[in-house]
Amino acid sequence: MNEQAQRAGFKSMDEGTQEDWAIIGSHFFPYAHALPDRVLTHLKLLDGDYGGFPIDRLQHSLQTATRAHRGGESEPYVVMALLHDIGDTLGSYNHPEIAAAIMKPFVDDKLHWIAEHHGVFQGYYFFHYLGMNRDMREAFRGHEHFEDTARFCELYDQTAFDPDYDSAPLEFFEPMVRRVFERPLNTIYKAVGEPA
């Protein structure tokens, strides 16, 4: 079948037919299954990007995930730790929200919340040096995931800038990323399901 025959024929969605959406659907699942490859490729963009820190952003991500893994955290938690700063390349001012959006379909509410809010919680350790309020996280005091997020930053994120730490390589985490991203838990498209 030629490439044109494998593409929908509409010029606007209101002209779409069942056949058009069957074609689109047949492309969606193979593309969706390749998401771990795209995520891992994007994570590698952090390699060599120091931003003034003692280690580059990829090493920080690996170190955070390694510390979480060695701390006995669940596989989804370790993947969240690995990807928590993946948004740095595209979201200089909102990287936590980007990481959280990528992970949202694949993790529970707690891990999504930690990823989405870790930036303001991490600020406890340095905001005051930038003329900001280090206690900004207090606005979330009382939230069910407040302590979990503070713990993530205290144990794994803020400690992960040690040039001498023996972090596991990215290849160690790749199977975990693939397993966590294998099947979405939270998505409006969950009802569509896999093709037969």
Per-residue pLDDT tens over the stretch 51-63: 999 999 999 999 9
Tens digits of residue pLDDT in 98-147: 999 999 999 999 999 999 999 999 999 999 999 999 999 999 999 999 99
Q: Tell me the C-alpha distance between 108 and 186, whole Å.
A: 8
- Residue 196's pLDDT is 47
Residue 106: HSE in the Cβ half-sphere, 13 Å Cα cutoff:
26
Q: Is 78 exposed, middle or buried (0-12, 13-18, 19+ CB in 10 A)?
A: buried
Q: How far apart are CA 146 and CA 154, in angstroms?
A: 12
| DSSP code, position 167 | P
> Which own/partner pairs from 54-61 qualify as long-range (CB within 8 Å, at least 24 positions apart)?
54/161, 54/162, 54/163, 55/161, 55/162, 55/163, 57/85, 57/88, 58/170, 59/167, 60/85, 60/160, 60/161, 61/85, 61/86
Tens of pLDDT, residues 142-183 = 999 999 999 999 999 999 999 999 999 999 999 999 999 998
Q: Which one, of 80, 11, 95, lies nearest residue 46 by Cα?
A: 95
Residue 70: the pLDDT is 98
Place of tokens 């040039």: 163
**What's the whole-model pTM score?**
0.92
